[in-house]
Structure 1
């Protein structure tokens, strides 16, 4: 299990990508998806077409990290893209649930658990 910092922003690339890409290729995709660069400390999650592989790109102030996960059986429950959207913002807790195999469709945080993100926006 990997713990994610509570204040980190997480972006999911909702369309599948080539999992042969590593640091430079994923960094270029991340910059296309979100106007911010990796230096802001955000995490970017990518999956393949079969949804059985996942890579997370993260800058930890000393360098870029690529975390990879391959499922032996099953698939990740990946959100569908909304029209015109290529990425989706998630709370770090939601990313952890996704990595643990939880289907986020229809899931909601209880009102007592919701909290403001840095910048004043709430996310799921």
Structure 2
């Protein structure tokens, strides 16, 4: 089992073709580093796909989930896309 101490939800969509390096680059841009035992969630614009990036203390995991119907709820994209602060790019999600 992967230990998760905190979960952060991205407020801007991620292109689901993006891989581990692209998702990790976004986390590093905002936080400076991917913290061990933290999960970072990304959704696409239509909110029917989600990726989860997790640092497990040793390496990086990237998991993807696609819904055949319906959408993930609770995804709110930021309106201030020029800002690079934590509050506008990611929000805590428990």
Please report the TM-score for the alignment, with normalisation by the length of structure 1: 0.61
Distance in 2 (alpha carbons) for counterparts of 1:51 and 1:82:
14
Which structure's relative contact order is higher, taking Cα pairs within 8 Å and 6+ residues apart?
2
Please report the TM-score for the alignment, with normalisation by the length of structure 2: 0.79
Unaligned runs of 5+ in 2: 81-87
1:86 corresponds to which residue? 89
Residue 52 of structure 2 corresponds to residue 49 of structure 1? no
Deviations 1:15-56 (A, max 9, x none): 1110111111000011123x2412432111001011100000
Task: Tell me if the contact between 1:81 and 1:87 (Cα under 8 Å) persists in the aligned partners.
Answer: no
- Name the structure where strand makes up a greater proportion of residues: 2
Distance in 1 (alpha carbons) for counterparts of 2:76 and 2:33:
24
Residue 20 of structure 2 corresponds to residue 17 of structure 1? no
Larger radius of gyration: 1
Structure 1: 4+ residue segments shifted above 6 A: none
